[in-house]
């Protein structure tokens, strides 16, 4: 690790502590040349998730975009931001645990619907209506009937 004071590339670790619930490690280092101390943070490098959209285009997975869609579905519903954050965390974990770095937007939509169904049925139906692009009232009623049967 390069010393921020003198630029020397050799240092020794004096102390290591986990931070952010074990997501990062804070290291106190000492430069072997100038003996000044500095702090570094070590994190797991995560590879970006690429989303393949319905039109075939690709874009980097965007938590905020997913949150916006879910917030729209949950508007005026008793669903907290923390719950939505937890849903997105779960979805990211599922995607990260697959070995593929690319995922279809359909798969993400399915994962969101599975999670929303357990949290709020109205939000689920709202999200499904946009995601599945219901063409008419009959398709909408079919989805509602599936929900009522369970």
What length is written for the chain? Answer: 150
pLDDT mean values, one per 10 residues, the chain (150 residues):
94 91 89 96 83 93 92 92 92 85 91 90 85 69 73
pLDDT at 21: 75
pLDDT at 84: 94
pLDDT at 47: 77
pLDDT at 1: 86
Dihedral sign for Cα atoms in the order 148, 78, 69, 135: positive
User: Rounded distance, CA 22 to CA 99, Å?
Assistant: 23
Q: Which residues contact 144 (CB under 8 A, 6 or more apart)?
A: 125
């Amino acid at each position: 690790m390069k010393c921020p004071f003198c630029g020397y590339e050799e240092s020794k670790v004096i102390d290591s502590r986990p931070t952010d619930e074990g997501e990062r490690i804070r290291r106190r280092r000492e430069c072997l040349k100038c003996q000044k101390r500095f702090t570094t943070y070590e994190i797991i490098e995560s590879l970006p998730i690429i989303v393949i959209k319905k039109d075939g285009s690709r874009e980097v997975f965007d938590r905020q975009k997913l949150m916006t869609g879910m917030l729209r579905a949950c508007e005026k519903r008793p669903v907290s931001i923390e719950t939505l954050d937890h849903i997105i965390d779960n979805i990211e974990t599922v995607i990260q645990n697959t070995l593929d770095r690319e995922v279809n937007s359909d798969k993400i939509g399915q994962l969101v619907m599975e999670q929303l169904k357990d949290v709020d049925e109205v939000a689920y139906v709202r999200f499904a209506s946009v995601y599945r692009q219901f063409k008419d009232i009959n398709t909408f009623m079919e989805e509602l009937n599936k929900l009522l049967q369970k």
